[in-house]
Every structure is written in structure tokens, then in C-alpha cells.
Structure 1
Amino acid sequence: MAQQQLIANNQEGAEIYHGESICKQKSHELLAEINLPKGLLPLNDLVEVGYNRATGFVWLKQKKRTEHKFRSIGRNVSYDTEVTAFVEDRRMRRLTGVKSKELLIWVSISDIYTDAPDSKKITFANSTGLARSFPISAFELDEN
């Protein structure tokens, strides 16, 4: 599978964490580091998180596929057992393993970004070039 090959190619020199609580913490730290909202990846059963700073490649592995509803925007998002991306400031590109439900179909998300440090919007795009923006506040971590 292409995802597993990407992970294998980027493991050397990567920071790799195992265990649910440290993985959740590291995923939040990563999102904060690249200036994206910490609630963007609401994954609970994480078993591995890896980050290769040299290549910008990140992977998150969870026990099973999960769905999350972002209530404030009424969107269902599906996260596969493996989520991968190349990250940089305010952007995740070549994202795999994330789909958003649009009407009756699931659409793969390949890019997530904000345009400026003070931007109030976050944009989700797919490989066909279709994009949709939402308020960043919809993806902030609910600290309760």
C-alpha cells in the first residue's frame, strides 16, 4: 500500500511515539507547532504517531477507522486507520486517510491550510481542486 511505503520511507530520523496518551499529546503539539487548530484531528485510539522533521512527513495510526461530527459546521469527517501528510507552517498537504461527507458522498481531503497567521478561516481542498473554507473556531479543541 502506498501509505505504508511512505511511512517506511520516512521512518529513518523520525520521532516516533507509541501509546494512546502520548500519541494524543504529540498530535496536539504538532498541530500547535504548524499553527493549525488542535481539534483538527480528533483521534482517540492512537497507537503510533511519527514525525520526520527533515521531510515534514507525519503519520498517525489508530486502532480503527473513526468518524467525527464537527457540530458547529454540521460536517461528518472520517479518519482511516492511517492518516498521513506532509506538514509545514499553516498547512497539511498530500493528506491521506481523511474524508468529509458532502451531501451523500465521501470526498477525500488532500490539503488543509490557512492563508495568514491571523486568518479566521481554514480551507479544505481535494485533489480535483475543489475547496471549501470554514471558521477556524469550528476546529479548536474543546478543553472540557
Structure 2
Amino acid sequence: MALVIPEELKAKAEVWYGDEKGQERISFFLREVEMPNGLLPLKDIIECGFVEECGFVWVKQKKKVEHKFEKIGRQVTYGTEISAYVERHKIRKLTGVKVKELLLWVNLAEIYAADPLAERITFKIPSGLYKTFPATAFIIETKEIKEHKEVEKPKEIKEAIAAKE
């Protein structure tokens, strides 16, 4: 089933082509809505679009991607075409993403962080059933995160020493 983007939305959209730009934009969207960076481990992105006015995002990739989130033991498949509406702490009207529950593949409809610190992420299917997991299960440690941790540690140590004096 091909992703149908209404012409009025596509006319207002910013569109990026290629995997490198697509990866940058997906990372940017997840940061902007304050969601974990590993929620969408996509590969070989062809096209990525965003309509800022309503928060509509779409991604087209060469082939579907299967990914296992090891920390929660869940297998997820990302179709060749994924779309959603994004807003702070929420991805809604999600299409193209399925999770394996027991022996069945179930469509995901919504992903949101209910608590203000986004320590837990909830995944909801169209029937209304949901499951909640720790947000840390969906964080991929990147070079920037590693560098940030390395910079923070010495500062924390200096503050602890200063507090003891």
C-alpha cells in the first residue's frame, strides 16, 4: 500500500532526499518532540518530509527494517513507508510500524511519554491496548551522548570536591 500524502500537505512540506539527510531529520524530529533517539532505527532512507503547520512527518525507505529492542525483548518492523503526526512527547496516527506480540504482528498507532520527565514510553495499538516501557530501552548511545557524558563527569567531580571543602 503506497503512502498517500494529500496535495495540500505536500505543497506546504519541507522534503529531504537521501539517507544522510533523512537520518539527520529523523534525529532532529525525535529531539524536538523530546522522545528517545532510538525509536526509529531506519536504514536507506529515500525521502523524508515534514509539514510544520500540523506536525505531519513521513519517511520512505528502500526496504522494510526489522529491529529487536534487546532491553525489552520486542521485535519491531518498520515498513517502507512510515507516517505520523508529531508533537511534544507524542507520535500519533502512526502508520507503517508493527510490533510482534507473542506470534502476531500488531500495528502501532501511537507512542507517547505520559510523565513530564519522559522516563517511560507508552505504545498503543489501534484497539486501545497499550504497554509501557522504560525510555532508556530506546536510547542509542551516539558519539554526542558519549562526549556529553565525558564532559559532565569531571564537572560533577569538581563540584563534589568543592562541596566537601
Match of 1:101 in 2: 100
1:11 CA drift (Å): 1.1
- TM-score, normalised by the number of residues in structure 2: 0.82
SS at match of 1:39: coil
* Aligned equivalent of 1:4: 3
Where does residue 69 of structure 2 map in the other structure? 70
CA-CA distance at 1:8 after TM superposition: 4.2
Instruction: Indicate whether 1:139 and 2:133 are aligned.
Output: no
**Map of 1:1-144 to 2, 5 A cutoff?**
4-6=3-5, 8-143=7-142
Say which SS state the counterpart of residue 96 (structure 1) adopts: strand
Q: Larger % of strand: which?
A: 1
Any idea what SS the aligned residue of 2:3 has? Answer: helix
Count matched residues. 143
Distance 1:43 1:7, change over 3 A: farther
Partner residue, 2:146: none
SS of residue in 1 equivalent to 2:35:
coil
Tell whether the 8 Å contact from 1:7 to 1:59 is kept in structure 2 after alignment: no
Identity %: 43
For 1:98 and 1:40, the matched residues in 2 are separated by 11
Q: Distance in 2 between matches of 1:143 and 1:14?
A: 29
- Structure 1 CA distance, aligned partners of 2:100 and 2:64? 15
Q: Using the alignment, how far apart are the partners of 1:65 and 1:86 within structure 2?
A: 20
Structure exhibiting the larger radius of gyration computed from Cα positions: 2
Residue 142 of structure 1 deviates from its aligned partner by 2.8
Task: Flag the structure with higher helix content.
Answer: 2
C-alpha distance in structure 2 between counterparts of 1:116 and 1:8, whole Å: 36
Cα deviation for residue 95 of structure 1 reads 0.3
Give distance in 2, aligned partners of 1:74 and 1:43. Answer: 19
Please give the secondary structure, in 1, of the residue aligned with 2:5: helix
Cα deviation per residue 1:103-125 (whole Å; 9 max; x = unaligned)?
A: 10001000000013313100000
Cα RMSD of the aligned pairs, angstroms, is 1.4
Unpaired segments ≥5 residues, structure 2: 144-165
TM score, norm. by length of structure 1: 0.94
What amino acid sits opposite 1:44 in the alignment? K
Counterpart amino acid of residue 91 in structure 1:
K
Moved more, 102-111 or 134-143: 134-143
Unpaired runs of at least 5, structure 1: none
